[in-house]
Amino acid sequence: MTGIARMFDLTGKRALVTGARTGLGRLAAETLAEAGADIIGLGSEPMPETAEAVVVLGRHFEQHQVDLTDPAAVRAFCDTVDEVDILINNAGQIRRQDLLEFSQEDWDAVVQINLTAAFSLSQAVARRMVNASIAGRIVNIASLLSFQGGIRVVSYTSAKHGILGLTRAMANELAGSGITVNAIAPGYIATDNTEALRNDPDRASAILERIPAGRWGRPEDLAPAMLFLCAPASGYVTGSCVTVDGGWMTR
């Protein structure tokens, strides 16, 4: 194996990926499996397509069904989580409503899955990494709304701002243990979360006009950043947020 190959080799690593059934979570599972990692998929529903894709690549796939909107369920899983080398906090949801009509229920549910569950899982995984002297990797999925206010998505924006702060705070405390914590901020990617926008002709047109690349992103556009931040090559990169947005943030 060449030096470059070793820098991105994940053979023998175990990666826990939340929200691994579809979209960016499935992309993360497949990308890390192709690099040699075994995958633990965590989500609220079965994920047979992800399991098949990982197994076809010759890697082991383990599945846990956990409702991340339920704090008690998250705590129960955290109490039993095994040692892993990589954690991808990807699971999330978005709820849209005018600010003055936004319900407490929608606020609580979105903040719980996008931010609180990510904190709980990161804390549990980091404890095991430290105790086992694992030079681990934690990657949080942020958003362009980690930097902007957005419209009609107050809970999602607040949670994604929080994810960026959480990333930096964890990076400060875990760097001494050889654990890196970074984030990826996807642009407008064609996933379930952006379906409503893509189906709205006016909003879709306005979004595309601002993206210098001139197209919606695809989940696979995030694969290189995902692999880099999980691989040995990124051992001196921590507390960073990589934007993969077709140039959106440059305008």
DSSP state of 151: S
Q: Provide the token pair at 12.
A: 């023998």
Cβ proximity of 226 and 185 under 8 Å: no
Q: Output helix, strand, coil percentages for the chain, rounded to the nearest 5.
A: 50, 15, 35
Q: Which of 20, 39, 91, 156 is flagged as catalytic?
A: 156
- Inter-CA distances, 31 with 34, 88, 119, 186, Å: 5, 12, 24, 16
Residue 251 lies in a domain: no
d(CA 125, CA 160) in angstroms, rounded, equals 20
Query: In this structure, is residue 248 part of a structural domain?
Result: no
Is 156 a catalytic site residue? yes
CATH of the domain at 233: 3.40.50.720
Q: Helix or strand or coil: residue 65?
A: strand
Instruction: Summarize pLDDT for 94-123 with one digit per residue, the tens.
Output: 999 999 999 999 999 999 999 999 999 999
* 180-225 per-position pLDDT tens digit: 999 999 999 988 778 888 999 998 999 999 999 999 999 899 999 9
- Whether residue 136 is contained in a domain is answered as yes
Question: How many independent structural domains does the chain possess?
Answer: 1
Residue 36 domain boundaries: 3-190+219-243
Specify if 10 maps to a domain. yes
Q: Exposed/middle/buried for 150, CB within 10 Å: 0-12, 13-18, 19+?
A: middle
pTM of the model: 0.95
